[in-house]
Amino acid sequence: MLKCQAAPFERVIEYLVRSLNNPLNKVPGPLYARFTNLPLKAAVISGRRIYHVHALHERYGPLVRIAPSEVAVADAQAFKLIHGVNSGFEKSPWYKDMVSIGREGVFTMANNKTHAARRRLLSRPFSKSHLRQHWEVVAKERVRLAVSQIRSEIVATGCADVLKWWTFMASDVSTHLMFGESFHTLEEGKVSDYIRKLQSALMGGGIGVELPLVRWIGRRLPFQICRDLWAANDYLMGYAKLAVSNMKSSQGKTNVFANMMTEAEKGERLDDEDVRIETQSLIVAGSETTSITLTYIVWAVLSRPDLQRRVEQELQTLQQDFGDADVEQLQLLNAVVEETLRLYGAAPGGLPRIVPAAGTTMRDLFLPRGTTVTTQAYTFHRDANIFPEPLEYIPERWMASNEDRHRVSDAAKAVYAPFGSGARTCLGVHLAYMELRMAAAACFRDCAGVRLAPSATPASMEMENFFLIAPAEHKCEITMP
Ligand code: HEM
């Protein structure tokens, strides 16, 4: 009896002794972070993680303990150490937990060796040359339709929500590439169940990691919002079957996995379940990220009439039926894309990695094995020592012709990471750039002279952060004066 009562007490003492002797106590940070991750959890659940961590960096410096076994890192050397190829830092189990669909895929794999083999297999179809040769035509056609729908909506109703249309566009491109057929959401013009699930998958995943019991119960409740948040991945996995059947079909519905089977014969194999898992994560990783970044491109440019005029002027040099290679030559437009990715890239939050077996030392502080270290682009991209006047939107800093102090230095390029860094850098980076460039060019050219609608205010565009960012009001309306 006495023993039973003593056990919890002993556990508390043991916990306190362990906490007091933890080598991470030497890492600066709020006292509470030694004992609890609750403030961090609260920030995640309320969509404020990037701000919470950034504020802690501002107060405590480049290395800050944010939870009992988690350290946020905003130091350039340490960034290189964590994300360098062959660094030995593996992705944290947080990714698998967030996606929560059983078998691991390229996005969630922790083991660096297993990941490298899968990544080799997937890299070719996502290379710039392969994308241009096989899929540019799809992206181009979807971009043109999206812009034409935006124009029609402005004519019909007085304004158009670009976030909605970019979401349809990016989703159509993703479904075409991964499934082998588009869902034609641009033609339908309505937020379908599929789109709602796509929009909720990462948000629900992020919240679900923090509140696993709520996720477990939520999955079983008959409410739409619960199903959208916590059954989204299962629902999307259902669609992923299409990718498998189209990959094998002789109906001409080819997808990015089609040629992979020939590659697979040379070594690494993909079975049907792997294709479903990869399809699901590529669809989720490739849709919202692109549409949100594009929305902020429009917002950033239309907020600055002089910049808008110069961008529109540059676009007059384009031939009518331009392609990605033509747009890639436009200095100002590409600078706008980079500057938007710096300040409003869709995935600026913490990318958690695990300290390898030997432990590591950063800024003279020892971090033991198993510590979670996270770097967030949000903080690096706002560091005044790296990007002069970091909060100012200055596309010119990316232009080769620019000689002034804003020009992006090599040191800045080393920590500029809107697509992550190292071996785990975004697989879809070339597809993303292709869509961002072509859609921004088509929009600013074919909708020249548009303005932000009164509903598109700084407050409405404030970034909320549930793994990705999104405008607080989940829309960005534009109009014709
Ligand atoms: C503007 C658009 C995009 C942004 C800002 C973005 C951002 C990112 C970031 C920051 C990561 C690193 C995650 C980490 O290290 O934990 C990442 C990884 C990834 N992204 Fe993207 N992404 C975009 C578009 C896409 C597209 C279009 C696809 C696919 C069609 C895609 C597929 C992936 C995949 C599969 C990974 C995991 C790569 C790996 O671990 O090997 N992304 N992305």
Whether 390 maps to a domain, the answer reads: no
Q: Which atom of ligand 1 is nearest to the CA of 341?
A: 5
Whether 291 maps to a domain, the answer reads: yes
Cα-based distances in Å from 457 to 111, 119, 212, 300, 407: 44, 41, 35, 11, 29
Whether 472 maps to a domain, the answer reads: yes
Looking at the DSSP assignment, which residues form a beta bridge with residue 70?
A: 67, 372
Q: Which atom of ligand 1 is nearest to the CA of 346?
A: 5
Our count of domains for the chain comes to 1
Instruction: Tally Cβ neighbours within 10 Å of residue 116.
Output: 14
Q: Which atom of ligand 1 is nearest to the CA of 170?
A: 27
Instruction: Tally Cβ neighbours within 10 Å of residue 361.
Output: 10
Whether 419 maps to a domain, the answer reads: no
Whether 443 maps to a domain, the answer reads: yes
Average pLDDT on 341-347 reads 98
What is the whole-number distance in angstroms between the Cα of residue 118 and the centre of ligand 1?
15
pLDDT one-digit tens code per residue, 118-147: 998 899 889 999 999 999 999 999 999 999
Whether 461 maps to a domain, the answer reads: yes
What is the whole-number distance in angstroms between the Cα of residue 91 and the centre of ligand 1?
14
Whether 464 maps to a domain, the answer reads: yes
Q: Which atom of ligand 1 is nearest to the CA of 351?
A: 16
pLDDT one-digit tens code per residue, 404-441: 889 999 999 999 999 999 999 999 999 999 999 999 99
Radius of gyration of the chain (CA): 23
SS3 at position 95: helix
Report percent pLDDT > 90 for the chain: 67
Whether 295 maps to a domain, the answer reads: yes
Residue 457 belongs to what domain range?
A: 103-304+428-481
Q: How confident is the model at residue 265 (pLDDT cuts 50, 70, 90)?
A: low
Average pLDDT on 166-173 reads 96
Q: Alpha helix locations (H) across 394-428? A: 410-415
Q: What's the CATH number where 171 sits?
A: 1.10.630.10
Structure tokens at 169: 């566009």
DSSP letters spanning 436-472:
HHHHHHHHHHHTTT-EE-TT--TTTTPEEEESEEEET
Q: Is 426 known to sit in a ligand binding site? A: yes
What is the whole-number distance in angstroms between the Cα of residue 278 and the centre of ligand 1?
13
Residues with CB under 6 A from ligand 1: 106-107, 119, 281-282, 285-286, 289-290, 293, 345-347, 351, 418-420, 424, 426-428, 431-432
Q: Provide the pairing of β-strand 477-479 with 70-73.
A: unpaired
Q: How confident is the model at residue 201 (pLDDT cuts 50, 70, 90)?
A: confident
CA 264, 270, 276, 280 torsion-angle sign: negative
The answer to whether residue 262 scores a pLDDT higher than 80 is: no
